[in-house]
Amino acid sequence: MLESFEEWFAIRNRNSDEDIWPGKLKFSEDAGITLEAVCHRAGRADSNAPCCDAGTITGYLDYQRPTTIIDPWVQSQGGGSSGLDTPVMRAKSRILASAVLKNIHMESSNEKCFTAMHMDMPSFSTWYAPQLVKTSNEHIKDSARALSVEIGGPTREEFLLKSKTNVIVQSFAAANEKGDETTITQRTFLTFEFPDAIDYSAVQNLIARVNSIFSFLLGHRMAHNPYRIKTTHTRKWNNQDEHITAELFFQPAFKSTTHHVNWNDAIFRRQDCALTPEDLLNAASDQPDAIFYLMNMVLLLENPEKLSASSFGELVGCIEDFDNMINRSGSSADVRSARRALRKIVKEYGRNDDLRALDELMRTQPNRVSLAERLDRLQASWSKSGFRGRIKASEITKIRNDVAHGRAVNLSPEDYQRIIWLQYDLCAISRFHIFRALGIQEQEIAAAFRRLGLRYGRYAPER
């Protein structure tokens, strides 16, 4: 898990060891990353806050460990009091950031210095489910039981993605003894070895996509652990240049404390569909952003922290983008031909004002599929595959339009109740289409919906 910490931090202003500012760095998943900095100005005319222009701030955590703060921005700054009892001039600032990278100084957020990444990712580990530990109980006389535990050896899988990234999946069983208790845990680690060094934005994008796809397959938002990232940076140790492995901490956009999901509460694990880790990790790289936005909105609204009309509007917008991704704009070729013919006639026989009026009219009436038509199109393929339930396109369109045009304040309690039911339907049909886009077969989707009968059973096809 991403454990909170609070440490002294020596700030290298403008990446210089000659200009050190004292500070305190705080990290937690809930509150994010905060750096409080102090500068004893002594008549200096420069900024009241450390320089954030390069997209990073470097320094020493606890005044000894090289550390980089990524995407910093100044929330507040100012001088202190000046008077008889406060003769020392100083400036104080509060800085927020998106991530902390321990062990290295990265002087630009665009630096391509990451060569491999080691993930202890709960979503992938739970989906992979290596099943190395098997238990059984045997009845013996006098109602006693004999427990048998079988522990398999470590496993390793290695393959090359389309992007030429080498992937290694390693699983093993670990024992932890505490007093008279012995806990056996199955661990799975995922390693990416990149063909060329990448920058931080590529690292961040890969983490988000991999966690989203496997969380979505499980049907639960999953937690993060710190990520270990091998870099091109070296440091001399025992007279040798050793490559440094950085540790990444960040505040997830979608927070969760779930590190494991039981088999009977997961939509898909590795054993439940024909897709391999290689298939899914290729999809994590190849699929467009629209599918990941929709995945995260579905995960958010299947178990929302609060009911929000605006979140419902965002879900509908993501569904529109997803439909556009798989079905394109849906504009009619006949309409395009008719418009060109009409414009040709007006240009030949009309006035310039007539032509301008026609062009303006066509701009305000774009030739594209409406939301209701998109929803009907998604519904048609859902129903054709035998899945039950119908989404009410007219109701969804009306509520979406009310929210988009600032009329959400006029929604009644009955409207909010309708939003709840409509969200269930939209999340189910979104899951069906996303699973198909990933390459999961309709029979496997139906079986998954039946396994989780309380959540999706009413949508599954009749046997």
Tens of pLDDT, residues 319-362 = 999 998 888 766 656 677 777 888 888 888 888 888 888 888 87
What number is the average pLDDT over the span 73-84?
78
Q: What local confidence, expressed as pLDDT, does residue 149 receive?
A: 84
Burial of 383 (0-12, 13-18, 19+ CB in 10 A): middle
pLDDT in tens, 47-72: 678 888 889 999 999 999 999 999 99
Say if CB 268 and CB 431 are below 8 A apart.
no
Using the Cα atoms of residue 236, residue 242, residue 247 and residue 248 in order, give the sign of their dihedral. positive
Record the tokens describing residue 197, joined without a space.
Answer: 């060094």
Q: Within 10 A of 460 (CB to CB), how many other CB atoms are there? A: 21
Say if CB 137 and CB 145 are below 8 A apart.
yes
Q: Within 10 A of 159 (CB to CB), how many other CB atoms are there? A: 14
Q: Using alpha carbons, list the distances in angstroms from residue 74 to 7, 49, 391.
A: 19, 7, 46
pLDDT in tens, 89-114: 778 899 999 999 999 999 998 999 99
Q: What residues does 151 pair with on adjacent strands?
A: 133
Q: What local confidence, expressed as pLDDT, does residue 181 receive?
A: 86
Q: What is the CA radius of gyration of the chain?
A: 28
Q: How far is CA 431 from the centre of its chain?
A: 17
pLDDT in tens, 256-302: 889 999 989 999 999 999 999 999 999 999 999 999 999 999 999 99
Structure-model confidence comparison of residues 220 and 138, the more confident one: 220
Structure confidence at residue 44 as a pLDDT band (50, 70, 90): low
Q: What local confidence, expressed as pLDDT, does residue 178 receive?
A: 85
Structure-model confidence comparison of residues 270 and 180, the more confident one: 270
Q: What local confidence, expressed as pLDDT, does residue 412 receive?
A: 87
pLDDT at position 441 over 50: yes
Percent of the residues in the chain that have a pLDDT greater than 90, as a whole number: 61
Q: Within 10 A of 302 (CB to CB), how many other CB atoms are there? A: 17
pLDDT at position 440 over 50: yes
pLDDT at position 409 over 90: no
Angle 153-154-160 from CA coordinates, rounded to 5°: 145
Say if CB 257 and CB 285 are below 8 A apart.
no
| 3-class DSSP state of 346 | helix
Q: What local confidence, expressed as pLDDT, does residue 179 receive?
A: 84
pLDDT in tens, 131-171: 888 888 777 666 667 778 888 899 999 999 999 999 999 99
pLDDT at position 43 over 50: no
Residues with Cβ < 8 Å from 131, sequence gap 6 or more?
152, 186
Record the tokens describing residue 173, joined without a space.
Answer: 């069983």
Record the tokens describing residue 57, joined without a space.
Answer: 């701030």
Q: What local confidence, expressed as pLDDT, does residue 81 receive?
A: 67
Structure confidence at residue 185 as a pLDDT band (50, 70, 90): confident
Pairing verdict, β 181-198 and 227-237: unpaired
Start-to-end CA distance of the chain, whole Å, equals: 42
Record the tokens describing residue 12, joined without a space.
Answer: 């290298």
Q: Which amino acid is at 239?
A: N
**pTM surpassing 0.75?**
yes
